[in-house]
């Protein structure tokens, strides 16, 4: 694994473990007024419960961002949740948080959706309307399409199944099971 891939993996793990994106931690640091690395690390550990390694990495990334005079690394989901679909962003973040709990994977931005990949693609997340996110999954052909687990044949032929997500309550154990199966098959 190269250095960039390892860093991205560490960032994904921090976001999954603490349930907050990097932007959240940058805002915490900015609002604290602290600028010294050791002070920021101590604050993240003491006030927010981050482990030393996570606090150290977040502080370093915040310092790099400040030194470059740039914003945090662009989140590929930002463009998907602009305008009328902005209200879906918390639902997207909750869904991705659950998927990140499974382990590491790559996110490949596509036109209109995000492709989620391990060795192979296993899912896609697409805000379809202002009130719904479609989750495409690649499940075994023997998995029946029933109830809210629909066939994806007319939705996107790259996927076997689709689940329409309109509320946080849709992110339940049943959905987690389908995602875990797709994730495991993608290796």
CA distance 76 to 66: 21
Would you state the pLDDT for residue 23?
83
- From 142, 184, 135, select the one nearest 159 (Cα to Cα): 135
pTM assigned to the model:
0.61
pLDDT > 90? residue 5? no
CB of 29 within 8 A of CB of 62? yes
CA distance 83 to 94: 19
Helices 22-32 and 3-18, packing angle to 10 deg: 80
pLDDT in tens, 125-167: 999 988 999 999 999 989 999 999 999 999 998 999 999 999 9
Would you state the pLDDT for residue 1?
53
pLDDT in tens, 33-91: 888 999 999 999 999 999 999 999 999 998 887 776 644 446 788 889 988 899 999 99
């Amino acid at each position: 694994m190269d250095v960039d891939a390892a860093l991205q993996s560490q960032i994904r793990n921090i976001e999954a473990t603490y349930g907050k994106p990097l932007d959240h931690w940058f805002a915490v640091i900015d609002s604290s007024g602290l600028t010294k690395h050791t002070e920021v690390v101590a604050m993240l550990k003491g006030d927010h419960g981050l482990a030393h390694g996570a606090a150290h990495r977040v502080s370093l990334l915040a310092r790099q961002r400040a030194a470059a005079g740039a914003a945090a690394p662009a989140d590929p989901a930002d463009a998907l949740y602009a305008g009328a679909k902005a209200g879906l962003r918390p639902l997207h973040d909750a869904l991705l948080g659950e998927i990140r709990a499974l382990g590491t994977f790559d996110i490949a931005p596509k036109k209109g959706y995000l492709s989620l990949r391990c060795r192979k693609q296993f899912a896609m997340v697409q805000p379809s309307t202002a009130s719904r996110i479609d989750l495409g999954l690649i499940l075994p052909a023997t998995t029946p399409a029933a109830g809210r687990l629909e066939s994806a044949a007319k939705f996107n032929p790259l996927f076997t199944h689709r689940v329409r997500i309109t509320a946080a309550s849709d992110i339940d154990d049943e959905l987690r099971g389908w995602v875990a199966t797709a994730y495991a098959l993608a290796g």
